[in-house]
Structure 1
């Protein structure tokens, strides 16, 4: 066993923990179908959102972890329940009146409000596939409409007719008494109106494979369950799909977790083996409310990619999947910088640490080298003080800070610079609030400007700080423009001026000079922006020009 596989077998990273559970499923013999099948489900009732992507990203991480510890081939399918009836009209799409006129029709029978595709279902499927393809996911796309209408679900539908009473018994236990009176596991599609009907069954005929029911106008109909005339209710659909496709693994949100025993039991009644599951916590919007496709109250896939790389989104998805996380604009910079921190650490780690590093899972065991020599948060601050309108406005500062860097040799940094300018103008600039310094802060900032303007004064500040802390050793030779030296100068000035909690000193610098309460490592910011430029910025802050 290789060092990497050996490390993977004991890794506490959640994808490996789930992969080992799945491997136990076939520890005695490999699957008869010849592969392990991973599935993700998608309800195309609204435009795809980041939560939808998260299921595919996280499932792919578990799939890659499984492939590291097992030699059994794998497949991943993304199944769209696009035969589902449109129960309500999403708020964030055009042509609302047209959609209301098609309520309760299968999504693949509802006209596309964007007038680009054959139907609303086809439009939303295309949106999902476009994004998954952008990320390079290896998957196969399955459409419920195709599967029902082509007869590929006929066998499991006929089996459900035969075992109708057993499945109904499972479902009725979970329903209120009033709902029990009208519930059926089958949803017929009206032959004339094309609407998906939620009506009770008058007869379920196992011999003929048919159902009989009255439509909403009281007319009686008898339809075969095969050929796309009937679909399953959504809870039975889970179990039936698992049985029909022989699914080995599926993850879903915590809101489904109470239904897991129902899904499992229906799968078993229909002759299948229940898959392994993983439930994740839901994403929350800025107000701590659950993100909804129909409300459009969370970040969309395209919105994240407007301000940060796809890899940073994958990193966000990797982190603590069983913890509810706020998914809003302000999480993006942190995700970008933490992702690159992990990339930089990866080459220095042994196999055990590498398989626990998020970037192993994001990149399937082959992470690239990070060329982000300037953190994203620092680029945001640089965009602020430099007044940059595009990434070219940042590269002059970057080149001085890192002479060997260029857009060609550091494409991730070049891309991030463009994202930073866009993010700053859209989210940071409108919320900045500069203030004037207090008397204590003013004296300290005057001292800082003086120290930055004179290496001798800077060294004197550091020597005084060291002496106050009982350190009388002579100072070593220093690079006066290095991050560490400049940070020491800022630190020494703050101590000299009586800031017992240096966080208050740094916060003052951020609020007076950058218009925000949090900011970068200030020594690094000075090194990037430039010493002379920082002195000029301090003088502007002291003169009240920034607060004005």
Structure 2
């Protein structure tokens, strides 16, 4: 069975498996000679990854994945997206190698970076203004919950990632610099200062070139991260000399957390010091990846494999910024959508720009549910390319929700429901054995539907009057439903009558008839499968709704 999974992974077409195969080739090239690489590849392709690892000692080190987070603002969806997508590649790599190869995912926070500006929408902004240019792990927490702004944002990120069940190791830039973990690579950069400058200076403007240094000393006087030139370097002592505006000419070691690096050299230093094998990034960082890769090589490292994903856009088509707060936060998504729907959204077309706004959530939920349904009947070669395989690491749930989110939204509106108890009452006949315990996802979707309807659907709901043909069709439908057994919960039977009415009244195409149902009865441009909706809402109530809509009473409510 395991070998079969490896075979499926080698042939899978979805992007996580493409990335996993690229990563495998990268790691083999990075760690082995040509001859050994060919021998190892033959074993891995034969489903004998364990034997390859036993044979070649260089392959026994874990494969390191990294994601980065800049905690100058609250965690946003792009941050989560990097971890989710990287985890998908990690899962694909495990399938490709039979899960023999140890992997690690490092979630790295650049919390030693200086706070450059006060983010929008933050309490106590005057406090942050007083702490500008200090390391984020030193800046006071305006929320009053942690010992620093960086610690607060790190905690927000970790709480969400933990809630999602991600496997990861959190590393703080401050702790890594201060612990000495980066010291060896920092001393190498000091020694190869001129080579790094030769890479960076051509990418800068004339004025910036005059003052640029890869080293950012932390002032012993003010505690600020200083953007100042390096005046002298003492490689044998491991120090730099600079002019501190608050303390004059100062000498500091580059080790032990006394300095940090500019972000491109810092990125390259991390790749080298942590031996990172894979890191993805946004399309806006393509040039930065290239320059950091050059610096990584100058430091004696090998840049990681990775790819560039497109950016998320707000409802106006503008790039989402964590400092502006113009996109959805993770907490906001989870108020209206499930965690699985968010992962589904992250899986889809990572190289295409996508809107990240409240209006994408209902479709994401129902698309996820549809993919789960499809997975049940797919052959193995199709299953492994189904998004839910990557979302659930090859083990998607066998059961999800018996109804769509769109249906629940309309049920909330028509029933004027304000609690899950009211919604569950409608399901008493349709699903008599269902309870919140037996249908936990349905219960979660009810809560989110109530929230979404109240905040977004209700304020924009607009019923219209039917025209003459639509009114006649609605009254015909009401009469036909009255002829059905009053206690029926057969959605297909009801749906058959809906179709029959549409054809009898010559709606061509039929979607015009369904549009009329949604706009006249539900006050929306789109809606759920009407038969299923009526079965849950109840035949008597549905007939009354249809008659009210036909007579224009809904527009007066």
- Which residue, out of 296, 301, 319, partners 1:272? 301
- Which residue, out of 168, 178, 189, partners 1:149? 178
Which residue of structure 2 aligns with residue 487 of structure 1?
Answer: 495
- CA shift, 1:495, in A, is 2.5
Q: Give 1:133-532 correspondences, 5 Å limit.
A: 133-216=162-245, 219-455=248-484, 481-532=489-540
Which residue of structure 2 aligns with residue 53 of structure 1?
Answer: 80
- CA shift, 1:380, in A, is 0.7
Whether contact under 8 Å (2:222, 2:246) holds in the other structure is: no
Whether contact under 8 Å (1:340, 1:370) holds in the other structure is: no
Of 103-112 and 209-218, more deviation after overlay is shown by 209-218
- CA shift, 1:30, in A, is 5.9
Whether contact under 8 Å (2:548, 2:554) holds in the other structure is: yes
- CA shift, 1:482, in A, is 2.8
TM-score normalised to structure 2 length: 0.92
- Report whether the alignment pairs 1:83 with 2:123: no
Which residue of structure 2 aligns with residue 21 of structure 1?
Answer: 22
Q: 2:120 is paired with a residue of what secondary structure?
A: coil
Q: 1:276 is paired with a residue of what secondary structure?
A: coil
- CA shift, 1:125, in A, is 0.5
Which residue of structure 1 aligns with residue 94 of structure 2?
Answer: 67
Q: 2:87 is paired with a residue of what secondary structure?
A: helix
Measure the CA separation in 1 of the matches of 2:306 and 2:259: 27
- CA shift, 1:218, in A, is 8.3
- Report whether the alignment pairs 1:546 with 2:547: no
Whether contact under 8 Å (2:221, 2:246) holds in the other structure is: no
Which residue of structure 1 aligns with residue 545 of structure 2?
Answer: 537
Whether contact under 8 Å (1:513, 1:546) holds in the other structure is: yes
Q: 1:40 is paired with a residue of what secondary structure?
A: strand
Measure the CA separation in 1 of the matches of 2:264 and 2:525: 48
Q: 1:277 is paired with a residue of what secondary structure?
A: coil
Of 8-17 and 437-446, more deviation after overlay is shown by 437-446
Whether contact under 8 Å (2:85, 2:347) holds in the other structure is: yes
The one-character-per-residue Cα deviations of 1:231-289 (angstroms, maximum 9, x if unpaired) are 10001111111001100000111111122211111111111111101211111111111
Q: 1:116 is paired with a residue of what secondary structure?
A: coil
Q: 1:38 is paired with a residue of what secondary structure?
A: strand
Whether contact under 8 Å (2:233, 2:239) holds in the other structure is: yes
Measure the CA separation in 1 of the matches of 2:447 and 2:219: 52
Which residue of structure 2 aligns with residue 465 of structure 1?
Answer: none
* Number of residue equivalences: 527
Whether contact under 8 Å (1:4, 1:352) holds in the other structure is: no
Q: 1:3 is paired with a residue of what secondary structure?
A: helix
Measure the CA separation in 1 of the matches of 2:526 and 2:374: 25
Q: 2:521 is paired with a residue of what secondary structure?
A: helix
Measure the CA separation in 2 of the matches of 1:387 and 1:420: 12
Whether contact under 8 Å (2:60, 2:101) holds in the other structure is: no
Whether contact under 8 Å (2:489, 2:536) holds in the other structure is: no
Q: 1:166 is paired with a residue of what secondary structure?
A: helix
Which residue of structure 2 aligns with residue 96 of structure 1?
Answer: 125
Q: 1:181 is paired with a residue of what secondary structure?
A: helix
- CA shift, 1:100, in A, is 0.4
- Report whether the alignment pairs 1:42 with 2:72: no
Q: Which runs of 5+ in 2 are unaligned?
A: 29-36, 38-55
Whether contact under 8 Å (1:370, 1:412) holds in the other structure is: no
Assess, with a 3 A threshold, how the Cα gap between structure 1 residues 409 and 480 changes in structure 2: closer, same or farther. closer
Aligned CA RMSD, in angstroms, stands at 1.8
Measure the CA separation in 2 of the matches of 1:30 and 1:260: 30
The ranges of structure 1 where at least 4 consecutive aligned residues each deviate by more than 6 angstroms after the TM superposition are none
Measure the CA separation in 2 of the matches of 1:333 and 1:286: 15
- CA shift, 1:491, in A, is 2.1
Which residue of structure 2 aligns with residue 461 of structure 1?
Answer: none
- Report whether the alignment pairs 1:4 with 2:25: no
Q: 1:137 is paired with a residue of what secondary structure?
A: coil
Which residue of structure 1 aligns with residue 53 of structure 2?
Answer: none
Whether contact under 8 Å (1:34, 1:73) holds in the other structure is: yes
Measure the CA separation in 2 of the matches of 1:33 and 1:156: 23
Whether contact under 8 Å (2:27, 2:277) holds in the other structure is: no
TM-score normalised to structure 1 length: 0.93
